[in-house]
Amino acid sequence: MASRRTSSVLLGTFRAASRRPATTWRQRCCYHSYEYNSPPPFPPAESAILSAALSHVPSYGFTADALRLGARDAGYMDVSTNLLPRGVFDLINYHLVSQRLALKNSVQFPSAGEQGKKLGTGSKVRTLTLARLRANEPIIHRWQEALAIMAQPSYAPASLAELARLADEMWYLAGDESVDSSWYTKRASLSAIYSATEVFMTQDTSKDFIETEKFLDSRLGDVMKIGGFIGALTEWTDYTRHSAVNVLRSKGMRV
Q: Is a pLDDT exceeding 70 seen at residue 112?
A: no
Q: Is a pLDDT exceeding 50 seen at residue 141?
A: yes
Confidence of residue 225 (pLDDT cuts 50, 70, 90): low
Q: Is a pLDDT exceeding 90 seen at residue 228?
A: no
Angle between helices 210-221 and 182-201 (to 10 degrees): 150
Q: Is a pLDDT exceeding 60 seen at residue 8?
A: no
Contact 231, 189 (CB under 8 A): no
Using a pLDDT cut of 70, give the percent of the chain over it: 69
Confidence of residue 26 (pLDDT cuts 50, 70, 90): very low
pLDDT at 200: 94
Q: Which pLDDT tens digit goes with each residue over 36-53?
A: 445 568 899 999 999 999
Mean pLDDT across the stretch 4-32? Answer: 42
Using a pLDDT cut of 90, give the percent of the chain over it: 53
Q: Is a pLDDT exceeding 50 seen at residue 113?
A: yes
Rounded mean pLDDT of the chain? 79
Rg (CA), the chain: 19
Mean pLDDT across the stretch 190-214? Answer: 94
User: Closest by alpha carbon to 65, among 145, 3, 153, 131?
Assistant: 145
Start-end of H helices in 135-181: 143-150, 156-173
Give dist(CA 100, CA 209) in Å, integer: 20
Rounded to two decimals, what is the model's pTM?
0.76
Q: Within the chain, how many helices (H) and strands (E) appear?
A: 13, 0
Which class for 47: exposed (0-12), middle (13-18), buried (19 or more C-beta within 10 A)? middle
pLDDT at 252: 52
Q: Which pLDDT tens digit goes with each residue over 79-100?
A: 999 889 899 999 999 999 999 9
63: helix, strand or coil:
coil
Mean pLDDT across the stretch 175-185? Answer: 82
**Among 34-38, 174-178, 230-234, which range has the highest average pLDDT?**
174-178
Give dist(CA 232, CA 187) in Å, integer: 13
